[in-house]
Structure 1
Amino acid sequence: MPRPHISLNFALSADGRITSVAGIASGWTSQADKDRFLHLRESADALLVGRGTLEADRMTMTAPQNPLRCVVSGKGRFDPAHPLFHTEGGPIHLLGIYHPPTSIGGTTPHHSSLPDFLATLHRDHGVEKLHCEGGATLVRELAELDAIDEIHLTWAAHTLFGGREAPGITGPPGDFLPASRQFELTHFEPRPDLGECFLSYRRA
């Protein structure tokens, strides 16, 4: 399918989880990880996030180049009081997959499948590079579509979340993907002083 180049960014605990079972919000990694998080945004034409992650982390999705700010919701429900809708930045695009998104002034609504939305961003809005910041449900769908080109990870050895239902980058343990996805390591930066390691992979 025609689509942008798609990258991901996640922090992982020592046991490969992105949150605790209770869904701990961001803030458990180092300042260096937070700086890397912001730096990775700077080459993107658009940022992408699922509604649950947007709300849990109170994200405003800003960057110096004012990328498009794109949020996905299965049911199309969005809170007009959320800080995203009251913070200056790039144009906001809301996708409702099963239902049209909540009507919020100053946003562009979309009601389609995720593949069609990606194609629209690429074709109609000139998005060449799309950077996804979660959550796991959205990444799972991207992985099933085989639509991931780069993965950036911070492996945080200082934290163990545990719990059978604590999610990894493609959600809680469950069914395997329909096929393996092959990536190669492109960046390896251990930071023993922080108890973290910064990693990057690209599609093989």
Structure 2
Amino acid sequence: MNRPHISINFAISADGKITSVAHKASGWTSEEDSQRLKQLREGADAIMVGRGTLEADRMTMTASNSPLRCVVSRSGNFDFDHPLFHSAGGAIHLLSEKPLTVDLPDVTSHSGSLSDFVKTLHLVHGVAHLHCEGGGKLVRELAELDAVDEIHLTWAGHHLFGGKTAPGITGLPGDYLTDSRHYELLHFEPREDLGECFLSYRRLRD
């Protein structure tokens, strides 16, 4: 493939939502889930999120192995006062529809399609494993490209978010994908003490 192996990681409520209607920030799951998130990051060469997720969670996308930190925004309205741009870690790569002028160290701006961006990360920057932490719109686009190879979920039975405008892992309910995507269950770890279950899936391909 002319792209990296791509994994995604989400916590979902009992009703399959990744956040509330009011876009509740991360931190509503257990400490074990937080540790799992860190472990998944350390297995990747690059971490990718959408700008909305970056800003909602005030994340710096750091890990001990200093993966590249990639942020996607169609509008290109990045807040360069955000902690991401002033924290130690891997080089930062930004994707927007139009070229940006960025005068910050270790920050590279890209323009064009998401497909071309992930190919560039793979072929130019040596990214073999790209790990995406949201949001739903970004994962929907990856799913449309059939580019989601692994899914890691923390099913949190202690929360019910509900609401038509509360997104799932592929964003708000809408049109179906053109084809079904088939996955096999690799890991199933129920934790009754936490009210959570840790799940991992792998894409089945012909």
Amino acid at match of 2:126: G
Whole-Å separation in 2 of the counterparts to 1:56 and 1:141: 20
Q: TM-score, normalised by structure 2?
A: 0.97
Deviation at 1:101, TM superposition (A): 3.3
Give SS of 1:125's match: coil
Q: Report the 3-state secondary structure (helix = DSSP H, G, I; strand = E; otherwise coil) of the residue aligned with 1:54.
A: helix
Distance 2:102 2:148 in 1: 30
How many angstroms apart in 2 are the aligned matches of 1:109 and 1:33?
A: 32
TM-score, normalization by structure 1: 0.98
User: What is the aligned partner in structure 2 of residue 154 from structure 1?
Assistant: 154
Return the alpha-carbon distance in structure 1 between the equivalents of residues 57 and 184 of structure 2: 30
Query: Would you say the 8 A contact 1:45–1:128 is kept in 2?
Result: yes
**CA drift at 1:110:** 0.4
Q: Does 1:140 align with 2:145?
A: no
Matched, 1:100 2:99: yes
Q: Percent identity?
A: 69
Q: Deviations over 1:118-144 (max 9, x none)?
A: 110000000000000000000000000
Q: CA RMSD in A?
A: 0.9
Task: Confirm or deny: 8 A CA contact 1:75 1:101 kept in the other structure.
Answer: no
- 2: CA distance, partners of 1:128 / 1:37: 19
Q: How much does 1:104 deviate?
A: 4.0
Aligned equivalents of 2:145 and 2:112: distance in 1?
15
**Segment of structure 1 superposing worse, 47-56 or 104-113:** 104-113
Structure 1 residues 180 and 89, CA gap change in structure 2 (3 angstroms): same
The Cα of 1:102 is off from its aligned counterpart by 5.3
Is the partner of 1:177 in helix, strand or coil?
coil
Contact kept in structure 2, 1:48 and 1:69, CA below 8 Å: yes
Q: Distance in 2 between matches of 1:123 and 1:181?
A: 26
Q: Deviations over 1:137-196 (max 9, x none)?
A: 000000000000000000000000011221100011111111111100000000000000
| Alignment map for 1:37-56 (pairs within 5 Å) | 37-56=37-56
Q: CA deviation at 1:65?
A: 0.7
SS in 2 for 1:71: strand
Taking the aligned partners of 1:165 and 1:82, their CA distance within structure 2 comes to 26
Aligned partner of 1:125 in structure 2 is 125
User: Unpaired runs of 5+ in structure 2?
Assistant: none
**Distance across 2 between alignment mates of 1:104 and 1:10:** 32
Q: 1:76 to 1:39 in 2, by over 3 A?
A: same
Aligned to 1:109, the other structure's residue is in SS state: strand
